[in-house]
Homo-oligomer: A and B are copies of this chain.
Amino acid sequence: MKDERFSFSKCSLTRSMGIIGTKWKPIIVYVLQTRKVRFGQLDAYIPLITRKVLTEQLKELEDDGLVIREAFSELPPRVEYSLTEKGLALLPILNSIIVWNEKYETEPKENYCPTSEFFKD
């Protein structure tokens, strides 16, 4: 997030929300898990995300130190994304957020968060 109101805050919580408190980043991190995933796989697997937003968010996640982007010199072009240690450390927090929400959501809804379970090697 480029919003300096978040990133320039003296409060660690606020700075953190500037990184993860967005619509798509948590999902991307959650989907990556421990795998290396290609752009097109992410695009196909995360419902409703546009390639424009996916590109942006991956770039920001890379800037924020959560994601590694590995480009290969080959054609068709091939790029793989994976989590850094920092990104991996966020996973249990995301899981606890899901558990928290599902426990206390007023009108319980199904959880359709994409996971990495469906990726084929």
Binding site for B on A (CB under 8 A): 5-6, 9-17, 19-23, 26-27, 30, 47, 65, 85-86, 89-90, 92-94, 96-98, 100-106, 109-114
Contacts and interface: CB of A to CB of B under 8 A. Distances in A.
Majority secondary structure of chain A interface residues (helix, strand, loop or mixed): helix
A16 B96 contact: no
Nearest to A104: B86
12 contacts: A10-B47, A10-B112, A12-B109, A14-B26, A15-B101, A16-B97, A17-B20, A17-B22, A20-B97, A21-B21, A93-B100, A96-B96
B23 A65 contact: no
Contacts of A111: 10-12
A109 B23 contact: no
Contacts of A47: 10
Number of copies: 2
A98 B21 contact: no
A121 B17 CA distance: 30
Which has the most chain B C-beta neighbours within 10 Å: A14, A16, A90?
Answer: A16
